[in-house]
Chains A and B, each alone.
Chain A
């Protein structure tokens, strides 16, 4: 395998710096929210993780389409990397959301559209992992994986709208203000800056992880090929 590209090293360093800065902003720079107190600070990384998770599933969706058209195994690696990292970030998003909901909504769990959609998504992509593990032939595994990553991603907006028709209590912090939502707050400029910075930091973290995971996939493939060569 080729040695680590210089750009990746740069990306790693930039990501580490951005994450350190984002942590500083969340813990020290951002002001304490007047009503909710410290737990409101979970919001910054909660939304950023949700964003990174969606990004991962979207990357997998696009890579799935490109794989079916080109049949190049590198797109399969991109797709698997996107799903795996998406699962990690979505998990963070769901658990932190639940922790935030406990003091604010007074319950660990509620069947809110976003919460439910995120959980169903997590289950669908867990099913994706099981599908892949059930197929030995790498070419077929890639094809089926691509098909399922497309189907799973298409169903996400439908799931969301279907649950949306129920009443929601999820706060919409950015954009419209729904008076029935509980736990809404107005962002001060410092909060806005912290929030924007968290999003940027998580985007970089996502990109760096994705790149590393794709390289891991390449290495895995090389090892498998070597094994096959030795057996024959």
Chain B
């Protein structure tokens, strides 16, 4: 028996979590609607910033970190909304919840999938931005900040979007719920990115990184603890 089936590694929790991630990625691979909409939207936001701020060379250096994070945050709400709305509309959410898996495995699965979407958008936006504005964004510190910042963002974002899709206002509600509570993550990310892009001393960047990691941990833990109550019917 044991040799007949090659079982994926890990506990049932990890396996069901990976199954959710895999399901999201496979669905996205077929439809491509989340990534394509996030991406086009992100590029449009960058273009609008160009006209709105009249960016000359020095202003560009100052504003890059801010523009980058505003773009990611806006594109992020778009992706979060879509990824949950798809579940809701196709009745997948109910199916998932009926399945005999740990609810928190669903939460982590959805979060990881959303995280991957956000990172892929960043991965395309960064080189495009570098080319359009002639700023070199390939900085290991900045990449780490994007990794950390988008983790905190999707940790709370996944929780709140699963609430928002179950209300009457749906799409409008997510940014209103999300932005006031996500400010520490966005602010720390902007400041840390700015520090890395300016080549500031590590002592200037350190407090922001600490705050970012602390926020990530706290938000992930809280979302993990309360997610059960959001999906229970």
> In the assembled complex, which residues on chain B have CB atoms less than 8 Å from the CB atom of A154?
218-219, 222
B218 engages A147 (CB within 8 Å):
no
A105 contacts B by Cβ under 8 Å: no
> In the assembled complex, which residues on chain A have CB atoms less than 8 Å from the CB atom of B219?
154-155
A151 with B232: in contact, given A158-B214, A158-B218 (CB under 8 Å)? no
> In the assembled complex, which residues on chain A have CB atoms less than 8 Å from the CB atom of B229?
68, 143, 146-147
A58 contacts B by Cβ under 8 Å: no
B27 contacts A by Cβ under 8 Å: no
A224 contacts B by Cβ under 8 Å: no
B53 contacts A by Cβ under 8 Å: no
Report the minimum CB–CB distance from B116 to chain A (whole Å).
23
B169 engages A130 (CB within 8 Å):
yes
Q: Which of A131-148 contact B (CB under 8 A)?
A: 131, 134-136, 140, 143-144, 146-148
> In the assembled complex, which residues on chain A have CB atoms less than 8 Å from the CB atom of B180?
120-121, 123-124, 127, 152, 155
Pair count A-B, CB < 8 A: 83
* Chain A residues engaging chain B, CB cutoff 8 angstroms: 68, 120-121, 123-124, 127, 130-131, 134-136, 140, 143-144, 146-148, 150-152, 154-155, 158-159, 161-163, 165
B166 contacts A by Cβ under 8 Å: yes
> In the assembled complex, which residues on chain A have CB atoms less than 8 Å from the CB atom of B182?
155
> In the assembled complex, which residues on chain B have CB atoms less than 8 Å from the CB atom of A144?
163, 166-167, 230
A158 engages B166 (CB within 8 Å):
no
Q: Which of B169-198 contact A (CB under 8 A)?
A: 169, 173, 176-177, 180-184, 187-188, 191
Task: Report the Cα distance A212→B163, complex, angstroms.
Answer: 30
A136 with B168: in contact, given A144-B163, A161-B211 (CB under 8 Å)? yes
Q: Which 6 A-B pairs have the closest CB atoms?
A: A124-B180, A134-B167, A158-B184, A155-B181, A162-B184, A134-B169
Q: Which residue of A lies closest to B231 (CB)?
A: A143
Task: Report the Cα distance A165→B224, complex, angstroms.
Answer: 28
Contact of B230 among A127, A147, A165 (CB under 8 A): A147
B218 engages A151 (CB within 8 Å):
no
B181 engages A152 (CB within 8 Å):
yes
> In the assembled complex, which residues on chain A have CB atoms less than 8 Å from the CB atom of B160?
148, 151
> In the assembled complex, which residues on chain B have CB atoms less than 8 Å from the CB atom of A127?
176-177, 180
Q: Which of B203-233 contact A (CB under 8 A)?
A: 207-208, 211, 214-215, 218-219, 222-223, 226, 229-230, 232
12 further A-B pairs in the complex, CB-CB below 8 A; given A127-B176, A131-B167, A159-B184: A68-B226, A131-B173, A135-B168, A140-B166, A147-B163, A151-B222, A154-B218, A155-B180, A158-B218, A159-B183, A163-B187, A165-B191
